[in-house]
Amino acid sequence: MSHKKYFFIAIPLAFSSIASSQITSELEPVTIYGSRFKEEINKALPQTTIITDREIQKSGLSNVSEVLQKIGGLTVKQNLDGSSNGAIDMRGFGDAASNNVVVLLDGVRLSENEQTAARTSFIPLEAISHIEITRGGNSVLYGDGATGGTINIVTKKDLDKLTVVSAGIGSYPSYQSSLFHSRKIGDTNLTLFGRQLDSKGYRTNSDNSEQSGGFSATKHLSGSDSIGIRIIGTQERNKLPGALPIGWLNSNPKNSQVAGYQSDSNIKTSHINLNGVKKINEDAEFRVDLNQFTKSNFWGYSYDGSSVFSGYNPNHANNNPNKNPIASGITNSLARTQTFSPRFKINNLGVRNNTTVLGYDWLQYKQTLDGIVSNSSGTYISPLFYGNSGSKSYQSDAWYTRSDWIANQYHRLIFGYREQAYRQQSDINYISISPNSNDGSGSFSNRGRVKATELQYIFSPSDQLKYHLRVSQNFRIANLDDNSQAYVVLPYNNLNPQTSHDYEFGVNYRTGIFRSQSRVYVSELKNEIGFNGSSNLNYPSSSRRGFESNNQVILNPKWTLIANINFIDAEFDAGTYSGKKVPGVSEYSGSLGVTHQINTKERVSFFSRFSSEAFASNDLANSQTKKPGYGVTDLRYSYSEKSWEIISSINNIFDKKYTDTAVYKNSYYSFYQTTVYPNPGRNFSILGRYIF
């Protein structure tokens, strides 16, 4: 990053320090769980942003991904599986973004052990108490994949009788509804929740259908002790229209890739969580979570690939008559993940005003799968790139400790350590129907040990102002999907764990009218796990240097201004691609908005989201057409009357033709080498909510 950019970064930091300090701060009463225990809001880390339930309800948004993007200021891209589970990119990881952020529900991991985004679409927004966004490496507490940060979605608890229902309609057309109900019976709190979404989608053949439902029960054994259970079931049915040539982004963004393109998925999941809290004495507390997550996944596709890739065209590549113009395939998988997480919190251990957390995390993942996929010369069942039939397993166990010492009103010190062992196994059988290939089998195994550390100092010269300095080491372990697509799939060619050394300096400032969080960071990575267009691999050395700032100014009771800014310099520092930018990462992005409270019943918000251009995924040489930058504006209006609230939205008011995802494929015909997945054009929605 140039000196000029660092000078520009310093301006908001200075502004944070000199803003007015004569008005006291205001904050809704919230208890946080960032330490994996219930804490008061004043224990929140300065790099943590809280999105409250009221902010969510006033937004009129329909799912968690939209909340994180439009309120939280995060980079959230459309998911290429067709669902509304957005791919969250914290601090510039491009294609691998979803595997470098950990998403949790009440502290229980939602991020999966696969190359996929965390599934959050099943959570009704009415059920959320608040969302905690912690930027920066957090592997000490949350382990594998927390390199970019963590997001903890906290649900409403310990409520008496409350019922919230919502329903809405939108463009394409789309329909949504949700329910949240809580009730207290004696010493037991019960909640019931559900959500539904159906949409034909912006593009041809992009239907999306999501349903979820569940309940939770918490029995209070005493004022501090409790046991609980939560059960959730979900189903998603999604269609995909395929990628379009970048030249069609402005002219034909609603088209499917080729006429008759078919891609259908059906994903079913179940979540079962058992939890307990025991207060041992005034200075000691015990918590435990036992969780099981099950996912079945069907995916089938079929389209004429001859116009996209010569491998499917009998009229090219030596006019091979065995070439089939139809690309097709079916895959099925069943995965089960089990976790066990006991932990202790001890206050005043060795020194007053110190809180120490000591915990253990155990995880086991098992998957069975089979598939059949066509290519240019026949049909295969294969363990490598054409589908597979077999089983995979992964297991890890870790212990960690973290100490948080508030020395006095000015000084706070946090340090932590985690050590995690892992082992994985893959056993595959494959069958070739092609006359030119043989049946076979393959297997690989891998094991190792990784560690994470953190040290953070927080200086608070006043109630309004905080500085923090943080140094940490974080990691990501190559999952079974990563290793199965490594450059050479052999028992001795597993990918190495990705490690990072992270440095961060930040300033927080808060008054009654102004609040700001600004951070400068550097992340130096070794063995970053990525994809080069055909295989997964470890990059020798890479880095992220950036600045991020989240600001809100309350001009008066009627007008509020919001600004979220992110600058990222993501590049490779060694090896073949030394000096090149990481594909899929925009240099700057953010949002600007204004909210006007017209009167006690009416509210209007005007927000603009923007992102600069970026190299397409797989373009490691930085030699192809870039994904264009964009600016998109949304308008929302809400009206409330007693227990009713109506929220209407116009998204992408100016009908911009834009995309947040572009992919480069060298083996395709030149016209299809750089392709895009268009985002929706101008669209409308209206949502009604009633509170009983």
Convert the pLDDT of each residue in 191-206 to its tens digit: 999 999 999 999 999 9
Q: Is the pLDDT of residue 437 over 60?
A: no
Using alpha carbons only, give the angle 612, 9, 624 rounded to the nearest 5 degrees: 25
pLDDT > 70: percent of the chain:
89
Length of the chain: 692
User: What does the pLDDT read at residue 251?
Assistant: 92
Locate 148 and state its tokens: 């970019």
**Nearest Cα to 192, choosing from 231, 137, 240?**
231
Residues 6+ away with beta carbon under 8 Å from 350: none
Q: Is the pLDDT of residue 303 over 50?
A: yes
Higher pLDDT pick, 488 / 65: 65
pLDDT average, residue stretch 329-343: 93
Q: Is the pLDDT of residue 14 over 50?
A: no
Higher pLDDT pick, 327 / 321: 327
Mean pLDDT of the residues in the chain: 87
User: What does the pLDDT read at residue 8?
Assistant: 36
User: What does the pLDDT read at residue 326?
Assistant: 81
Question: 82-96, 346-360, 367-381, 448-462: which range is least confident on average?
Answer: 367-381
The partner residues of 541 in beta bridges, in order of sequence, read 526
Question: 20-34, 70-84, 361-375, 404-418: which range is least confident on average?
Answer: 20-34
User: What does the pLDDT read at residue 432?
Assistant: 61
* Phi and psi angles of residue 106, each rounded to the nearest 5 degrees, phi first: 50, 40
Ordered domains of the chain (ranges, CATH): 3-253+272-691 (2.40.170.20)
Q: Is the pLDDT of residue 381 over 60?
A: no
Question: Do the strands 626-627 and 630-641 form a parallel or antiparallel pair, or are they unpaired?
Answer: unpaired
Q: Is the pLDDT of residue 83 over 90?
A: no
- Beta carbons of 643 and 674 less than 8 angstroms apart: no
Question: 211-215, 316-320, 476-480, 500-504: which range is least confident on average?
Answer: 316-320
Separation CA 200–CA 207 (nearest Å) = 4
User: What does the pLDDT read at residue 690?
Assistant: 93
User: What does the pLDDT read at residue 61?
Assistant: 80
Q: Is the pLDDT of residue 18 over 50?
A: no
Give just the sign of the alpha carbon dihedral 528, 291, 71, 32.
Answer: negative
User: What does the pLDDT read at residue 393?
Assistant: 93
Separation CA 584–CA 80 (nearest Å) = 14
**Exposure string for 47-67, b = 16+ CB within 10 A, e = fewer:** bbbbbbbebbbbbbbbbbbbb
Q: Is the pLDDT of residue 380 over 70?
A: no
Global pTM value: 0.90
**Nearest Cα to 564, choosing from 544, 541, 587, 588?**
588
- Which DSSP string corresponds to 588-626? EEEEEEEEEE-SSSEEEEEEEEEE--EEPBT-TT--SPE
Question: 106-120, 182-196, 262-276, 419-433: which range is least confident on average?
Answer: 419-433
Separation CA 587–CA 611 (nearest Å) = 8
Q: Is the pLDDT of residue 218 over 60?
A: yes
Question: Do the strands 411-432 and 440-459 form a parallel or antiparallel pair, or are they unpaired?
Answer: antiparallel
Separation CA 412–CA 456 (nearest Å) = 8
Q: Is the pLDDT of residue 285 over 80?
A: yes
User: What does the pLDDT read at residue 188?
Assistant: 94
Higher pLDDT pick, 11 / 58: 58
Q: How many other C-beta atoms are found inside a 10 Å radius of the C-beta of residue 359?
A: 20
pLDDT average, residue stretch 554-574: 94
User: What does the pLDDT read at residue 429?
Assistant: 75
**What do you get for the CA distance between the two ends of the chain, in Å?**
53
Locate 461 and state its tokens: 């010269």
Q: Is the pLDDT of residue 456 over 50?
A: yes
**Confidence band for 12, pLDDT divided at 50, 70 and 90:** very low
pLDDT average, residue stretch 630-648: 93
Q: Is the pLDDT of residue 548 over 50?
A: yes
Please report which helix (H) or strand (E) contains residue 6, including its range: helix 3-18
Q: Is the pLDDT of residue 611 over 90?
A: yes
Higher pLDDT pick, 205 / 441: 205
**Nearest Cα to 79, choosing from 168, 245, 201?**
201
Residues 6+ away with beta carbon under 8 Å from 628: 249, 613, 658, 659
- Beta carbons of 616 and 598 less than 8 angstroms apart: no
The partner residues of 689 in beta bridges, in order of sequence, read 166, 645
Q: Is the pLDDT of residue 378 over 50?
A: no
pLDDT average, residue stretch 478-489: 76
User: What does the pLDDT read at residue 487?
Assistant: 61
User: What does the pLDDT read at residue 307?
Assistant: 84
User: What does the pLDDT read at residue 283?
Assistant: 92
User: What does the pLDDT read at residue 657?
Assistant: 95
Locate 170 and state its tokens: 């939108």
Q: Is the pLDDT of residue 520 over 80?
A: yes
